[in-house]
Amino acid sequence: MKTIFLCSMAVVLSTSTLFAHESAGKRLFQEYCWGCHHETAMAFGPSFESIANKRSRAEVMAQIADPDATYKSLGYKTNSMPAFSDLNSSELESLTDYIYKFKDKK
Amino acid sequence: MRKMIYTFLMLLSISSIVGADEHEKIFVVERENSALAVINHNLKTNEIKNMHNFNHAVVKFRGKDGYVITRDGYVIKFNPITEKKLKEYRTSKSAIGFIIGKNFLAVANYDNKTVEILDRNLNPLQSIKTNSRNVGIKLYKNYLVFACMDTNEIWVMKDVKAKAKLPKFVLYKKFTNIGKVPFDALIDKNLYVVGLFNSPDIGVINLDTMKYKKVPLKLGKKERILKVPHFGFWSVSKGYFFIPAVGNEKVFVFDHKFNYITSINVEGNPVFTALSPDKKWLAVTFSGKKFPYVQIIDTKTLKIIRTFKFPGWILHVRWSNDTKHLYFSVNTANEVLAYNVSNKNPLKWWKQYMWPVPKSSGIFLYDSKTQK
């Protein structure tokens, strides 16, 4: 009985951690990205869907942190995106996870 | 005699009913709900639903027709009086702006890099391929003017069938190397004025002479921009152009010959600058951490008279043309507010109405009187 209780607690905790991580990504999107990017449609910046479909996680994080350093290697002619070098690694992971939510499911 | 009086009273009552209906109706984009909220006689009375992706939706009116473009590229025609959706047509995967001509619509698209021409019943007429995302679409005489964000160009198309039933646009003049990343524009009489995201200038075309010039902006150090200003809302008063800075906490003031007058330091990076109908007040909205603020500037003294702080993000403001109200769309509080602005002193303006509108965004006004 005690084992079932502990298992249930573990599931609840891991699920809530997952939701917290996801909501952190969405919160960061709404705080920083939302004015220029849309999840699935081209806007002033490319959609998260198109980014997730053609970029690696490392490329996504590098572009968020310092786009002036990466935009040419990613094939963009110009850069209009500001740097978000003030995001910590956990925030970068959460935001990248959120972007990857829109990757096409194969 | 009695019959005459009776007839007179009947006519009077009919005219008063018709007159009563000739007022401003408020349409509010519900950003996350694919719905257009309707506020009528100070009550939220309806929602027009199934409007596709309503992020950044734009509504315009001409005559008795209402049109919307959506983030996912639909153009929707609706009746602003009956509040019914009439027809829809998808022009692209992502549309950004449009303009309504007498017998056509022109839609500027992002995703498929075209400008699409439709008739007023949304039948496709012409597709103009530009190889760029397109912004700042305007009309002047028989010209259709828009800017190409990815190629740093402005295209002037001419309607060579201006007197025919339907238009046919051909490229009349292309301005190249106009500056970096045009993102929006306004038109004032013969002047097409374009904002440049990555250049410290604005661009101005005189559409009578077809001459282009750049006007330098004293921008200073560019801050991080979290929302692109809406330069279509640039405000033009009798004496001045008010222009929100890109990435700087300023509103620039120019005279009508684009001589620099001054810059007004404001609360944050401006998004919308909107003049009151009497041109006495300029409302300025902001982005980032300053989304909850709106400032009111006296257009005579160019001083900030009042700073509002709301309990949520302000995504749009609109001055009523019909009554003494200023409307605020408080997106994260899910409400639209109407402040009574009848007092000459903005410090005495007061909150008169609140309407619950989920994830409220753009506010658009339809007035059958002015649409006649």
Beta-carbon neighbour count of residue B69 at 10 Å? Answer: 26
Give CA–CA dist A64/B211, Å, rounded: 39
- Asked if B226 has any chain A CB less than 8 Å from its own CB, the reply is yes
A23 confidence band (pLDDT: 50, 70, 90): confident
Report the C-alpha dihedral over residues B265, B266, B268, B273, rounded to 10 degrees. Answer: -120
Which residues does chain A have within 8 Å of residue B183's beta carbon, measured at their own beta carbons? 44
- What distance in Å separates residue A83's CA from the closest CA in chain B? 8
The answer to whether the CB of B368 falls within 8 A of the CB of B63 is no
Percentage, residues of chain B above pLDDT 70: 93
Percentage, residues of chain A above pLDDT 70: 78
Q: Which of residues 123-152 of B touch A (CB under 8 A)?
A: 133, 150
**A76 is a domain residue:** yes
More confidently predicted of A62 and B10 = A62
**A6 is a domain residue:** yes
Cβ A44–B183 below 8 Å, yes or no?
yes
Cβ B133–A42 below 8 Å, yes or no?
yes
Identify from A37, A42, A53, A78 which residue to disrupt to test chain B contact, counting B C-beta atoms within 10 A and taking the largest count.
A42
More confidently predicted of B272 and B7 = B272
pLDDT in tens, B69-99: 999 999 999 999 999 999 999 999 999 999 9
The answer to whether the CB of B336 falls within 8 A of the CB of B363 is yes
Rg, Å, chain A Cα set: 17
Closest chain B residue to A80, measured at CA:
B198
- What distance in Å separates residue A75's CA from the closest CA in chain B? 13
Which residues does chain A have within 8 Å of residue B225's beta carbon, measured at their own beta carbons? 35-36, 82
Cβ A35–B287 below 8 Å, yes or no?
yes
Q: Which of residues 152-211 of B touch A (CB under 8 A)?
A: 180-181, 183, 197-198
More confidently predicted of B17 and B71 = B71
Give CA–CA dist B55/A37, Å, rounded: 11
At residue B49, does pLDDT exceed 50?
A: yes
Helices A57-65 and A89-100 sit at what angle, rounded to 10 degrees? 120
- Asked if B94 has any chain A CB less than 8 Å from its own CB, the reply is yes
Identify from A32, A47, A49, A80 which residue to disrupt to test chain B contact, counting B C-beta atoms within 10 A and taking the largest count.
A80
- According to the model, what pLDDT value does residue B16 have? 41
Asked if the interface predicted TM-score (ipTM) of this complex is over 0.90, the answer is no
- Asked if B225 has any chain A CB less than 8 Å from its own CB, the reply is yes
**A36 is a domain residue:** yes
Distances (CA, A) of B225 to A82, A104, B127, B277, B320: 7, 29, 33, 29, 29
- The parent domain of residue A84 ranges over 2-100
**A19 is a domain residue:** yes
- According to the model, what pLDDT value does residue B222 have? 84
In the numeric block, the tokens 């989304």 are attached to: B291
Q: Which of residues 247-266 of B touch A (CB under 8 A)?
A: none
- Asked if A8 has any chain B CB less than 8 Å from its own CB, the reply is no
Residue type, B54: F
**A105 is a domain residue:** no
Q: What is the 3-state secondary structure (H, E, C) of chain B?
A: CHHHHHHHHHHHHHHHHHHHHCCEEEEEEECCCCEEEEEECCEEEEEECCCCCCCCCEEEEECCEEEEECCCCEEEEEECCCCEEEEEEECCCCEEEEEECCCEEEEEECCCCEEEEEECCCCEEEEEECCCCEEEEEEECCEEEEEECCCCEEEEEEECCCCCCCCCEEEEEEECCCCCCEEEEEEECCEEEEEECCCCEEEEEECCCCEEEEEECCCCCCCCCCCCCCHHHCEECCCEEEEECCCCCEEEEEECCCCEEEEEECCCCEEEEEECCCCCEEEEEECHHHCCEEEEEECCCCEEEEEEECCCCEEEEEECCCCCEEEEEEHHHCEEEEEECCCCCHHHCEEEEEEECCCEEEEEEEECCCCC
Residue A22 belongs to domain with CATH number: 1.10.760.10
- According to the model, what pLDDT value does residue B18 have? 42
pLDDT in tens, B113-127: 999 999 999 999 999
Closest chain B residue to A38, measured at CA:
B55
A and B: number of Cβ contacts within 8 A? 49
Average pLDDT over residues B333-337: 97
Which residues does chain A have within 8 Å of residue B57's beta carbon, measured at their own beta carbons? none
Which residues does chain B have within 8 Å of residue A42's beta carbon, measured at their own beta carbons? 93-94, 110-111, 133
Cβ B94–A35 below 8 Å, yes or no?
no
Provide the number of structural domains found in chain A: 1
Give CA–CA dist A48/B177, Å, rounded: 30
Give CA–CA dist B15/B5, Å, rounded: 15
Cβ B181–A78 below 8 Å, yes or no?
yes
Sign of CA dihedral B158, B161, B162, B167: negative
**A52 is a domain residue:** yes
**A49 is written with which tokens?**
């869907």
Instruction: Spell out the residues 6+ positions from residue B171 whose beta carbon is closer than 8 angstroms to its own.
Output: B155, B156, B157, B158
Cβ B93–A77 below 8 Å, yes or no?
no
pLDDT in tens, B127-171: 999 999 999 999 999 999 999 999 999 999 999 999 899 999 999
Q: What is the 3-state secondary structure (H, E, C) of chain A?
A: CHHHHHHHHHHHHHHHHHHHHHHHHHHHHHHHHCCCCCCCCCCCCCCHHHHHHHCCHHHHHHHHHCHHHHCCCCCCCCCCCCCCCCCCHHHHHHHHHHHHCCCCCC
Cβ B71–A77 below 8 Å, yes or no?
no
Average pLDDT over residues B191-201: 95
- According to the model, what pLDDT value does residue B19 have? 44
**A106 is a domain residue:** no
- According to the model, what pLDDT value does residue B15 have? 43
B20 confidence band (pLDDT: 50, 70, 90): very low
